[in-house]
Homo-oligomer: A and B are copies of this chain.
Amino acid sequence: MAVPSPSGLLRGNALRLLRYLVLGAGLAAMMAITVPGLNPQSRSWLVVILWCCLGFFASELAIKSLTGAQAKAERNYFLTSSGIIDLLAVLPIPLALLIGVPADTAWLLVSLWLLKLAPAVPGLALLGRVIEQEARPLASVFVIFLIVLLLSAVALYALERTGQPERFGSLPQSLWWAVTTLTTTGYGDAVPQTFLGRMIAGTVMIFGLGVFGLWTGILATGFAAEHRRRDFIQNWDLVTSVPFLRNLDAPAVIELTHKLRRLDLAERNVVVRRGRPGDCMYFIASGEVEVKVEPQPVRLGAGSFFGEFALLDGGPRRATVVTTMPSTFLVLEVSDFRAFTAHHPELAKAVEREAARRRGTSEEEPLVGAQPASQIPEYRDE
Residues of A that sit less than 8 Å from B by CB: 1, 3, 27, 30-31, 34-36, 74, 105, 108, 111, 114, 117-118, 120-124, 126-127, 133, 136-137, 139-141, 143-145, 147, 150-151, 154, 157-158, 165, 169-172, 175-176, 179-181, 183-189, 191, 195, 198, 201-202, 205-206, 208-221, 223-224, 227, 229, 232-233, 236, 250-251, 253-254, 261, 275, 277, 279, 313-316, 333-336, 338-339, 341-343, 345
Contact = CB atoms under 8 A, between A and B. Distances in A.
B212 A216 contact: yes
8 contacts: A1-B315, A122-B139, A127-B140, A127-B144, A184-B185, A185-B205, A186-B188, A233-B335
B170 A1 contact: no
Contacts of A279: 233
Contact of A339 (B121, B254, B338): B254
Contacts of A74: 275
A136 B157 contact: no
Q: What 6 pairs between A and B have smallest CB-CB spacing? A: A217-B220, A123-B140, A213-B216, A185-B186, A187-B188, A250-B342
Contact of A30 (B120, B171, B205, B214): B171
A209 B217 CA distance: 11
Contact of A189 (B188, B261, B277): B188
A154 B334 CA distance: 42
Contact of A229 (B185, B201, B210, B335): B335
Copies of this chain, tallied across the complex: 4
A338 B175 contact: no
Contacts of A217: 213, 216-217, 219-221, 223-224
Binding site secondary structure of chain A: helix
A209 B183 contact: yes
A336 B31 CA distance: 48
B220 A172 contact: no
Contact of A187 (B186, B210, B275): B186
Contacts of A183: 184, 205-206, 208-209
Given A165-B36, A214-B223, A253 B342 contact: yes
Which of A158, A181, A188, A275 counts the most B-chain CB atoms under 10 A from its CB? A188
B154 A140 contact: no
A151 B114 contact: yes
B122 A136 contact: yes
Contacts of A342: 250-251, 253-254
Contacts of A143: 117, 120-121, 123-124
A108 B158 contact: yes
A179 B192 CA distance: 13
A153 to B, nearest CB: 8
Contacts of A209: 183, 211-212, 215-216
